[in-house]
Amino acid sequence: MDSRWVCLLILAGLSEAAAQEDLTRKVFVFRTEPSEAYIILKPLPKEPLQNLTVCLRSYTDLTRPYGLFSYATESEDNEILIFKPKNTGCTSVEKDTLDWEHVCFGWESATGIAEFWMNGKPWPRKGLKKGYVVGSGAFILLGQEQDRFGGTYDSYNSFSGELTDVYMWDFLLSPHKMRAAYQDLQLPRCALGWKNLQYEIKGDVVVKGRLR
């Protein structure tokens, strides 16, 4: 994968009720920099995963590394991780060049094929852990990279900015649907999706309407 993005399939009791709502045309705003905030996602996959797709859209002026999506099990602290190492090529970001970035990561165990889509366009496919099974009983969150199951975060890798259109499927989306996700068109039903999201906010994150 290009060094600008890293999508990894790494092999190596909550006190509050989770909210559930349709977040169409809304965003999570992680307000502070660096941030100790994160969002816990539910429901948890009940079965191990042999196929998956994760899509989301982010907007930030960060130039340091940051984590967006972290799926941890008791055996692996970041079994699935969507992480941007850093902004390459410059040390600052011009405000008039900022734009939303939409990423999708898909994988299937039978072939070991991993796909990464950036703003509706595919990058070259790679081979990744053919025959592997992603564990169930996961702890899934947005805005941080987990250093252990359900906790311990490095604020240097935290996300600050806006996050929206988060989806996860237990199958690999077709190319047509990968492009549909970028275009915010009709998508297959899923248990973890922006239109029926169950979540719990931890820290300084607010839900606001989209500016675009």
Find the CATH number of the domain harbouring 143: 2.60.120.200
Q: Given pLDDT bands bounded at 50, 70 and 90, which one contains residue 212?
A: confident
Amino acid at 22: D
142's tokens: 């947005």
Residue 95 lies inside a defined structural domain of this protein: no
Residue 8 lies inside a defined structural domain of this protein: no
pLDDT in tens, 69-113: 999 988 887 789 999 997 654 444 455 678 999 999 999 999 999
Residue 6 lies inside a defined structural domain of this protein: no
Strand partners, 52: 107
Q: In this predicted structure, what is the pLDDT of residue 18?
A: 61
Helix (H) or strand (E) holding 177: helix 175-182
Provide the pairing of β-strand 205-209 with 26-30.
Answer: antiparallel
Residue 92 lies inside a defined structural domain of this protein: no
Chain-wide mean pLDDT for the chain? Answer: 86
Which of residues 9 and 50 earns the better pLDDT score?
50
pTM of the model: 0.86
Amino acid at 202: K
Which of residues 6 and 52 earns the better pLDDT score?
52
pLDDT of 186 higher than 70: yes
Residue 96 lies inside a defined structural domain of this protein: no
Residue 9 lies inside a defined structural domain of this protein: no
Q: In this predicted structure, what is the pLDDT of residue 181?
A: 96
Average pLDDT over residues 163-191: 94
Which of residues 86 and 158 earns the better pLDDT score?
158
- What DSSP character marks residue 171? S
Q: In this predicted structure, what is the pLDDT of residue 87?
A: 64
Question: Domain total for the chain?
Answer: 1
Q: Given pLDDT bands bounded at 50, 70 and 90, which one contains residue 15?
A: very low
Torsion of CA 2, 32, 22, 43, to 10 degrees: 70
Instruction: Look up the domain containing 149 and give its range.
Output: 19-87+101-209
Amino acid at 152: T
pLDDT of 12 higher than 70: no
pLDDT in tens, 127-139: 999 999 998 888 9
100's tokens: 């939303």
Residue 13 lies inside a defined structural domain of this protein: no
Residue labelled with tokens 């006190």: 15
Q: In this predicted structure, what is the pLDDT of residue 136?
A: 82
Residue 197 lies inside a defined structural domain of this protein: yes
Please compute, for residue 135, the number of CA atoms within 13 A of its CA located in the half-sphere on the CB side. Answer: 17
Average pLDDT over residues 55-59: 97
Concatenate the DSSP letters of all residues of 37-100 into one string. -EEEEESPPSS-BSEEEEEEEEE----S-EEEEEEE-SS-TTSEEEEE----S-SS--GGG---
